[in-house]
Amino acid sequence: MKQNWTTLSLLEELSCTFGPSGCEEAVADTIRAHIAMYCDEILPDPMGGVLARIRGTGAAVPGPVAPRRLMLSCHMDEVGFMVRSITEEGLLKIASMCGSDTRVLAGRRVWVGSAASQVRGVFGVKPLHLIKSEDRDNALDIDELYVDIGAESRQAAEEMVHVGDFGTFESDFISFGMDDGYIKGKALDDRLGCAVLCSVMRQVYEREICPCCDLYFAFTCREELGISGARTAAYKIDPDYAIVFEATAAGDISGTSEYRQVARLGMGGAVSLMDRSTIYDRPFTDWILQTAREENIPCQIKQYVSGGNDAAHIHKSRTGVRCAAISAPARYIHTASNVVAKKDIVSIEQLAMAVINRLCGEKK
C-alpha cells in the first residue's frame, strides 16, 4: 500500500512499467497498491482488470442526471507485439499488436518477456544498401522487422525468451520544455488516464465526499486489441453513466492543416462528440462542457473524428450506457515517445472532480 505519491510520480512509475496488451499484471499490481486504502472494495475481474468501488448513499440529487452507478474508465495496456517465431540465428520474428507505425520501429530499444521478467532488445531491419531504391520510401511490412536480443542462435534465444512472450518499447520518462511543462514517455496512452483516476479516487476519499451514487473506477485491459476488458467490465458494473479517460492523438504539429488537428496540447482535456466507434451522449457531453466553463477549467472539443476507446463497448453494454470521453492530447501516440502537457493533466483531474461533485457529490 503506497501513500506518498503524486499524480506525476505515479504516472512515471506506470509509464515505465511493462504492460502490453495481454500482459497487464504488473500495471494492475501497481494500481492496486496505490488505491487499496481509497476504495470500499476491489472487485474480481477474470479478464485481469482492476475494478474499484466507492459505495454511494443512494440519496437523490438535483440536476440533469442522477445515476445509480457512475463508471470512470481507463485502460492499462500499451501498444506492443508478441514473439511468433525465433530464427536459427536467434532473431525474434513478431506479430504486431495495436497497429504501431512500422516507420518508427527500426533501431528502437524494446523489452521482451513476461510480466515476471524481461530482456532488452532492439528492433532490426534489412540494411539500407540491400533495399531497392524504389522501396526505400515505403512503410515496412511487419514481416520485414525482427527483434535482436543479442542471442547467437535459436537455442541461446530460447534460454531468454519464448514464442508467445510479449514485448514493448523501452523509453525514459522525462520532463522537458519551458518550465519543464511537457512530459515524454512510453504508454502515456493510457497510463495517464490510470494515474488521473487513481488521484481522483484519493481526492474523493481525502475530501470526504460521500457520493449519492456508487462510483466505479475501471482500469481495463486489452483496449489496444479489441477493447475486450471494457466490454466485460461494463457488463459487470452495469452503469447508468460512464466517462472514459484516455489519451488521443493531437496532430498539432507543423505541416498539419488546422482542420485535421485533433486537439492541441496545453488547452485542457479534449471532450469527444464522436469517434469511429461511438456517438457520445450529447446531453451528457454538453453538461460536462458546461461544467468546465462554469468552473473555469480549460477544456476543448476533439475536432477530428478518429480512433476509438473503451466507450465503443461500454455504450452498448446491456440496455445501453450514456457515455462521454475526456482525452489528454498526446503527440507521437503509439510510439516510444508520447508527449503531453502537464497542465492538461491538471485540467483533466480538475474536470473529473468537478463532474463527480456536481453529478453525485455530497459532503459528509
Tell me how far apart the alpha carbons of residues 74 and 67 are, in angstroms, rounded to a whole number.
19
User: Please, what is the angle between helix 342-360 and helix 7-15, to 10°?
Assistant: 110
CA distances from 216 to 50, 51, 277 (A): 10, 7, 23
CA distances from 76 to 105, 198, 249 (A): 22, 12, 17
Q: Would you say how long the chain is, in residues?
A: 364
**124 pairs with which residues across the strands?**
146
User: Please, what is the angle between helix 342-360 and helix 282-294, to 10°?
Assistant: 110
Pure H helices in 211-281:
228-237
Asked if 251 and 259 touch (Cβ cutoff 8 Å), the reply is: no
- Helix/strand/coil for 149: coil
Q: Which residues of 289-303 are buried (b: 16+ CB within 10 A; e: fewer)?
A: bebbeeeebbbbebb
Single-letter code of the amino acid located at 218:
A
Based on the residue annotation, tell me whether 170 is a catalytic residue of this protein.
no
Which of 13, 24, 78, 223 is the catalytic position? 223
Whole-number CA gyration radius for the chain: 21
The cell for 42 is: 476491489
- What's 140's DSSP letter? P
- Residues with catalytic annotation? 223
